[in-house]
Amino acid sequence: MGLMALWAWHIGKSPRVLLATSWDSDWYSRIAAHGYGRTLHWPDGAVQSDLAFFPLYPGLIRSLTTALPVTGGTAGLMLSWAAAGAAAWGVYALVERLYDRRLATVVVLLWGLLPHSIVLTMAYTEPLLAAFAAWSLYALVTRRPLWAGSLAALAGLTRPNGIAVGAAVCAVVAYRLFTRGRRAGRGNANRGEEAVWRLCAAAALAPAGWGGYLLWVGLRTGDPVGGYFAVQSGWTSRFDLGAGALRVVRSMVTTPAFFGFPMALVITCAGVLLLVLLLLERPSLPLGVYAGVLVLITVGGSGFFESKPRFLLPAFPLLIPLALALTRARPRAAITVIAALAGVSFAYGTYLLTLAPLAL
């Protein structure tokens, strides 16, 4: 953020404006100030409705601007910075619980040095989703299902891919109920296990935020089942198992492409490779499901190809294999890798926010 600010001042731009009002940030501030109802019609036929944006973040912005004498953009930055700190703490606590302190420290460091980590300082929703996800997964591994389900519901109200947290909670609940039933059938029931009603309540809560907003948009648009997905289609965004992404990749081979497109391809492919490596490490069930669903949504979705790395930003479990490799490597090699990643992150993040012609 510091490097971006210096370059922004050098080229005559305001760092605060770039962080608080760029692209989606402006949509969130408008929703916070005026509610839903804004629709833009473009000459190419695209219809962009603000109903595509989930309500929790703008709702929190509105609460802050009501309580404090700040603008919507400033309130968004306050929320994002606080959420990024809470997310880093949650990622550390989760990885330390499952592995050790050293690995937890390296995972947090790598997460802060991802090429798109500049987003963690912007008025965007990724920091908030990452915070809810990290603490929901922590609640799962510490056997607090109601906390896990409640935080998953909030994650589902934050972003469309927040359903990945709900999927992790439901998968863990299903597994625990299954193993509980098997043990009970063999007469090996454990008195320390979670109550069935807590597990069932967690599974019901987890997708409630995401499903509730989709239903509300559907009722508002007159199509309870497909209304939200029609809104997303207006933004040229839909889940097509990667067909749209493949078309973009083919076009990059035949025609000159904006620099962000090949970078997005490299980062997304790296995410898929890291998922494979993570699964080979036999991770905790919630980590594997959460990361897997995020990668599936990112790779299988079409539209805004340049934003795919941002969609993967909350998928911090993907960094565990790389962190494991760094903790096993010689210190000089590990420092070289981290320094190189930092250099890429500082330069690319500055480019994305100050010079890139397309939305982040």
User: What are the φ/ψ torsions at residue 41 (nearest 5 degrees)?
Assistant: -110, 130
Assigned token pair, 357: 């012609």
Dist CA 106 CA 327 (whole Å) = 8
How many CA atoms are closer than 13 Å to the CA of 32, on its beta-carbon side? 26
> Which letter does DSSP use for residue 39 in this model?
E
State both tokens at 289.
């499901």
Q: What is the token pair recorded at 128?
A: 């908030």
User: In the Cβ-directed half-sphere of 359, how many Cα atoms lie within 13 Å?
Assistant: 15
Per-residue model confidence (pLDDT) at position 102: 96
Structure tokens at 124: 């965007």
Tell me the residue type at 273.
Answer: L
Query: Could you give the CA distance from residue 8 to residue 314 in angstroms, rounded to a whole number?
Result: 26
pLDDT of residue 258: 81
- 339-360 burial code (b ≥16 CB/10 A, e <16): eebeeebbebbbbbbbebeeeb
Report the C-alpha gap between 221 and 49 in whole angstroms. Answer: 11
pLDDT at 163: 98
- What sign does the dihedral 309-310-312-315 (CA atoms) show? positive
Q: Which two tokens stand for residue 186?
A: 């063999």
Whether the CB-CB separation of 332 and 291 falls below 8 Å is answered with no
Distance CA 245, CA 147 (A): 36
- Residue 330, amino acid: R
Tell me, what's the pLDDT at 51? 97
Please, how many CA atoms are within 13 Å of residue 37, restricted to the half-sphere of its CB?
4
Distance CA 207, CA 156 (A): 7
Under 8 Å between Cβ of 181 and 163: no
pLDDT for the residue numbered 291: 98
The whole-number mean pLDDT for each consecutive block of 10 residues of the chain, a chain of 360 residues, reads: 95 96 95 95 85 98 96 96 98 97 97 96 98 98 96 98 98 93 65 80 97 97 94 91 90 84 94 97 96 97 92 98 96 94 95 90
What is the reported pLDDT for 298?
96
Sequential DSSP letters for 81-92 = HHHHHHHHHHHH
Q: Given this model, what pLDDT does residue 45 score?
A: 73
Q: What is the number of other CB atoms lying within 10 angstroms of the CB of residue 223?
A: 14
Amino acid 254: pLDDT: 84
